[in-house]
Structure 1
Amino acid sequence: MSQPILIWGAGAIGGTLGAALIRAGEEVIFVDSAREHVDAINGKGLKIVGPVFEEVVRAKACLPEEVEGEYQRTFLCVKAHHTEEAAKALVRHLAADGYVVSAQNGLNERVIARIAGDHRVIGCFVNFGADYLEPGVVQYSGRGAVVIGELDGRFTDRAEDIYQLMRHLEPKALITNNIWGFLWGKLIYGALLFGTALTNDSIADVLGNPAARPVLRRLALEVATVAAINNVRPEAFDGFDPAAFGPLATPEQTKASFDEMVAHNRQSVKSHTGIWRDLAIRKRRTEVDAQLLPVVEIGRESRVPTPMTARLIEMIHEIEDGKRPLDLANIDELARAAA
Structure 2
Amino acid sequence: MTALPAGPILIWGAGAIGGTLGAAFLRAGHEVVFVDNAVDHVAAIRANGLRIEGPLWTATVQAPAFTPEELEGRFGLTFLCVKALHTRGAITELAPHLTPDAMVVSAQNGLNEIAISEAVGEGRTIGCFVNFGADYLSPGVVHYSGKGAVVVGEIDNRTTPRITALHGLMQEFEPDAVLTDNIWGYLWGKLVYGALLFATALTDDSIADVLDAAEARDVLTRLGQEVGSVATERGIRTEGFNGFDPEAFMPGAPQSLVDASFAEMVAHNRTSSKSHSGIWRDLAIRKRKTEVEAQLGPIVSEGQRLGVPTPLTRRLIALIREIEDGTRGLSMANLAVLDGQEGASA
Give per-residue Cα distances to partners, 1:83-121, cap 9 Å, x unaligned: 000011111101011120000000000111110111110
What does residue 157 of structure 1 align with?
A: 161
The answer for the alignment partner of 1:274 in structure 2 is 278
Q: Given that residues 6 and 76 in structure 2 are in contact (C-alpha distance below 8 angstroms), is that contact kept between their aligned partners in structure 1? A: no
Distance in 2 between residues matched to 1:58 and 1:296, nearest whole Å? 43
- In 1, Cα distance between equivalents of 2:124 and 2:19: 23
Tell me which residue corresponds to 1:254.
Answer: 258
Structure 2, unaligned runs of 5 or more: none
CA distance in 1, matches of 2:232, 2:61: 43
Counterpart selection for 1:310 from 314, 323, 326: 314
Match of 1:230 in 2: 234
2:128 to 91, 103, 124: 124
Give the secondary-structure state (helix, strand or coil) at the position aligned to 2:40.
Answer: helix
Shift of 1:19: 0.4
- The letter of the residue matching 2:182 is N
> Over residues 12-58 of structure 1, what are the superposed CA-to-partner deviations in whole Å (9 max), with x where a residue is unaligned?
00000000000000000000000000000011000000011100000
Deviation at 1:248, TM superposition (A): 3.2
Contact in 1 for aligned 2:247/2:253 (Cα 8 Å): yes
Q: Partner of 1:5 in structure 2?
A: 9
How far apart, in 2, do the equivalents of 1:129 and 1:227 lie? 25
CA distance in 1, matches of 2:174, 2:292: 27
Deviations 1:120-140 (A, max 9, x none): 100000000000000000000
SS of structure 1 residue aligned to 2:90: helix
SS of aligned partner of 2:215: coil
Listed one character per residue, the Cα deviations across residues 180-203 of structure 1 (whole Å, up to 9, x for unaligned) are 000000000000000000000000
Matches within 5 A, 1:93-242: 93-242=97-246
Contact 1:7 1:28 in 2 (8 A): yes
Partner-residue secondary structure (3-state), 1:64? coil
State how 1:281-300 maps to structure 2 within 5 Å: 281-300=285-304
Q: Distance in 2 between matches of 1:282 and 1:297?
A: 28
SS of match in other structure, 2:288: coil
- Is this contact kept in 2: 1:307–1:337, CA < 8 A? no
Structure 1 residues 1-10 or 28-37, which shifts more? 1-10
Superposition CA RMSD, Å: 1.1
Contact 1:308-1:337 at 8 Å conserved across structures? no
Structure 1 Cα separation of the partners of residues 94 and 298 of structure 2 = 23
Residue 314 of structure 1 aligns to a residue whose secondary structure is: helix
**Aligned residue in 2 for 1:332:** 336
Structure 1 segments of 4+ aligned residues over 4 angstroms from their partners:
none
User: What's the TM-score, normalizing by structure 1?
Assistant: 0.98
Q: Check the 8 A contact 1:197/1:273 in 2, yes or no.
A: yes
**SS at 2:166's partner residue?**
helix
Q: Deviations over 1:198-217 (max 9, x none)?
A: 00000000000011010000
Q: Which runs of 5+ in 1 are unaligned?
A: none
Whole-Å separation in 2 of the counterparts to 1:87 and 1:2: 21
Instruction: Indicate conservation of the 8 Å contact 1:207/1:258, yes or no.
Output: yes
Q: Is the 8 A contact 1:21 1:168 kept in 2?
A: yes
The residue matched to 1:159 in structure 2 has which SS?
Answer: helix
SS in 2 for 1:41: helix
For 1:183 and 1:225, the matched residues in 2 are separated by 15
Aligned-partner Cα distance in 2 for 1:69–1:149:
27
Query: Identity rate of aligned residues, in percent?
Result: 61
Q: Which one-letter code corresponds to 2:194 in the other structure?
A: G
1:268 partner amino acid:
S
Kindly report which structure 2 residues correspond to 1:40-59, keeping only aligned pairs within 5 A, or say none. Answer: 40-59=44-63
